[in-house]
Chains A and B, each alone.
Chain A
Amino acid sequence: NAGVMQNPRHLVRRRGQEARLRCSPMKGHSHVYWYRQLPEEGLKFMVYLQKENIIDESGMPKERFSAEFPKEGPSILRIQQVVRGDSAAYFCASSPTLEGGTEAFFGQGTRLTVV
């Protein structure tokens, strides 16, 4: 059973371009979470999705950022018109259920650099 897969591992974009980050959860997991880690800072919650639904997007910036988790395929975090401040590591985690003690497994992250 492969772990949480994120791609690409590294992504370089020029200011104003779009960035698409992909996350394939572990097999059987229907809950996906996205976190952002700025340099020298901790992970900050962005969005929590279940298949075809956004459950909690309270950590998402109001503009330029969107996320989806379609019925088929990976979860996508999309950043439009990237700016230098978007440079960070973006981590995805997945879990199978809502139960409190359920483990959340993290991917290796995508490191976005905006030049």
Chain B
Amino acid sequence: KNQVEQSPQSLIILEGKNCTLQCNYTVSPFSNLRWYKQDTGRGPVSLTIMTFSENTKSNGRYTATLDADTKQSSLHITASQLSDSASYICVVRRGGATNKLIFGTGTLLAVQP
């Protein structure tokens, strides 16, 4: 079954600290993996897109990793800020003609002062 699972479900950290969010997927065939940030009441906004051949990709303080062999990805946030408080969603695009994005349930991150 094509699934995307994320952990932890929620996380609280202090401002300035680092954190790492995990994503495991069973989607096949695999096309690419994306990390989205969703602020409360807003639509998701893309942080990174990683294809099969990419192991690491950075976007500012966000660094995503992908291990296509173990079907795992992580999102590392460095020097967290209060504005990082949001839901972080791992999304895997299934290959083929349907162009379907399969969403994880997200990790809710709260950054406290």
Contact partners of A33 in chain B: CB under 8 A:
99, 101
On whether A100 and B93 interact (CB within 8 A), knowing A43-B44, A107-B43, A108-B43, the answer reads yes
Partner of B98, one of A42, A56, A101, A103: A56
| Binary per-residue interface labels of chain A (28-71) against chain B in the complex, 1 for a CB within 8 Å, 0 otherwise | 00010101000001111100100000011010000000000000
Tally of chain B residues near chain A (CB < 8 A): 24
A-B contact count (CB 8 A): 60
Interface residue? B111 (CB, 8 A):
no
Task: List, in ascending order, chain B residues with CB within 8 A of A48's CB.
Answer: 98-100
Is B89 positioned at the interface, with any CB of A under 8 Å from its CB? yes
Q: Which residues of A contact B (CB under 8 A)?
A: 4, 31, 33, 35, 41-45, 48, 55-56, 58, 91, 93, 95, 98, 100-101, 103-109
Q: What are 10 residue pairs bridging A and B, where the CB atoms are less than 8 Å apart in the complex?
A: A35-B103, A42-B104, A43-B44, A43-B89, A58-B100, A98-B97, A100-B51, A100-B95, A101-B49, A106-B44
